[in-house]
Structure 1
Amino acid sequence: MQETTFRDAIQADVPALVGLVTSAYRGEASRVGWTTEADLLDGNRIVPEVLLADIARPRSRIVLAERDGALLGCAHVAEEDDAGYFGMFAVRPELQGSGLGRSILAEAERIAAMDWQLPLMRMTVIDLRTELIDWYVRRGYRRTGQTKPFPATDPRFGLPLRDDLRFEVLEKDLR
C-alpha cells in the first residue's frame, strides 16, 4: 500500500468531494465515523457551486488526501483576514480515528504557515460538537470565546434539526 499523498482539487474532483463530505457528516453512512452531524443537521453539507468557487479563488485550496488513487479525505484552507482558515474537513467514515485527519490538518497548517506565511490558523466548529472541539484543542487550537451564528437559512450548508446551533471560533498560532 502506498503512503498518503496530497494534491489540490480541480473542477473534475467536485462530484467525488460532494460524496466524501456528505458521507462524513450526513445520513446513516456518517454514523460509522465519529464526526457525524446527522443528529444536528439534515440536507447538504456542501454543494458543487461552493466547491467550484473555493477552487477558483486566489489563496484558497481544497486539499485532497489520496492513497493508491483513492480519495480518503479533504479540507479547505484559505486566507481570510490575514490568517489561515481551515474548514470542510472530511475523512471517509471508516478511516476516522486512523491518524489520517491529523495528517490532513498538518498539511493545511503547512500551507498556511509555509506557503502563505500566515501567522495563525482559524476555524469555526459547531459549539455542540464538544468531542471535535476537544480533538482540535489537543492539536494546539485554543477556544477564543467568540461565536458566530449558524447560517440556518442557507440550505447549501444544511438544514438544522435544532434551533440552538452556532459556531465557536478556534485559533492556533502557526509561528
Structure 2
Amino acid sequence: MSRDIFRIATEEDAPAFLELLSSAFKPLGEMGIDWPSTNATLEMVTENITQSAAVVLERDGRLISTITIRFPWESTEPVSGYPFVWWFATAPDLAGQGIGNRLLDYVENTLLRQTYKAPAYTLGTSGRKHPWLLEMYERKGYTKYIEREAENGDLGVLMYKVLIPERFDPAILGAPPTEEKVETTST
C-alpha cells in the first residue's frame, strides 16, 4: 500500500525536486512559455527550497507533486501583499489522478487558511500560450487582477483566490504601477 506524505522540502530534496519540476514543465517550455520553472537549475531549486515554503507530496520516498509558497516578506518587491504560489508541478506519469488537486487543497486549507490565516493568495499563469491553465484556475475559483503582455507573445495573468472572505481586502493584492489592473470584486 502506498503512503503519501505532505511535507516541506529540504535541501536534500533539491535533485529530486529539480527532476520533478523539469519533467513537469518540459511541455510548457516547448509551448514557448518562459517561466523560471521552465528553466530551473539545481541552484535555483535549492534557493527556492531554502528561501520559501516548498511543499511536496511524497509517495513511498518519491516526490510526486510540489508547490511553493512565497511570502510577501521574502522580497523588497513582492508580487502581492498576500502569499504567492508558484512552481506547481506533478509527475507527468501520474497526471489525471487528482494528485495536484490534493496538494493544492492541502496548501490552501491546511497551510494558508488554517495555519497562516491568509485571507487570500495569488498566482501567475499563462493567459495565451497554454491551452487550458487559465480556464482551469477560473473554474477553481480564482479571479484575474493583473494582465501583462509578455515580450514572447504570451499574456501573463496574475490571479487571486479568497480563502477567508471576511478578512479579504483587495487593496492588499497590490499592483506594480506599470501593470494593467483588472477590476477586482470582493467575494
TM-score (norm 2): 0.73
In the TM superposition, residue 139 of structure 1 has moved relative to its aligned partner by: 1.4
Q: Which amino acid aligns with 1:141?
A: Y
In the TM superposition, residue 56 of structure 1 has moved relative to its aligned partner by: 2.3
- Alpha-carbon distance in structure 1 between the residues aligned to 2:13 and 2:31: 28
For the pair 1:173 / 2:162, whether they are aligned, the reply is: yes
Instruction: Work out whether residues 54 and 68 of structure 2, in 8 Å CA contact, stay in contact via their aligned partners in 1.
Output: yes
* Residues 11-90 of structure 1: pairs in structure 2 closer than 5 A: 11-26=11-26, 30=27, 36-41=28-33, 44-57=38-51, 60-80=52-72, 81-90=80-89
- Alpha-carbon distance in structure 2 between the residues aligned to 1:148 and 1:91: 26
Match of residue 158 from structure 1: none
Structure with higher strand content: 1
Match of residue 131 from structure 1: 132
CA RMSD of aligned residues (A): 2.1
Instruction: Work out whether residues 119 and 174 of structure 1, in 8 Å CA contact, stay in contact via their aligned partners in 2.
Output: yes
- Alpha-carbon distance in structure 2 between the residues aligned to 1:100 and 1:44: 20
The answer for unaligned runs of 5 or more in structure 1 is: 31-35, 153-162
Cα distance, 1:116–1:82 mapped onto 2, change above 3 Å: farther
- Alpha-carbon distance in structure 2 between the residues aligned to 1:109 and 1:18: 23
In the TM superposition, residue 37 of structure 1 has moved relative to its aligned partner by: 3.9
Query: Percent same amino acid among aligned pairs?
Result: 24
Secondary structure, counterpart of 2:83 in structure 1: strand
**1:55-98 C-alpha deviation (Å, 9 max, x unpaired):** 223xx311111111111111111222431211101111121111
- Alpha-carbon distance in structure 2 between the residues aligned to 1:47 and 1:122: 24
- Alpha-carbon distance in structure 2 between the residues aligned to 1:8 and 1:101: 16
TM-score (norm 1): 0.78
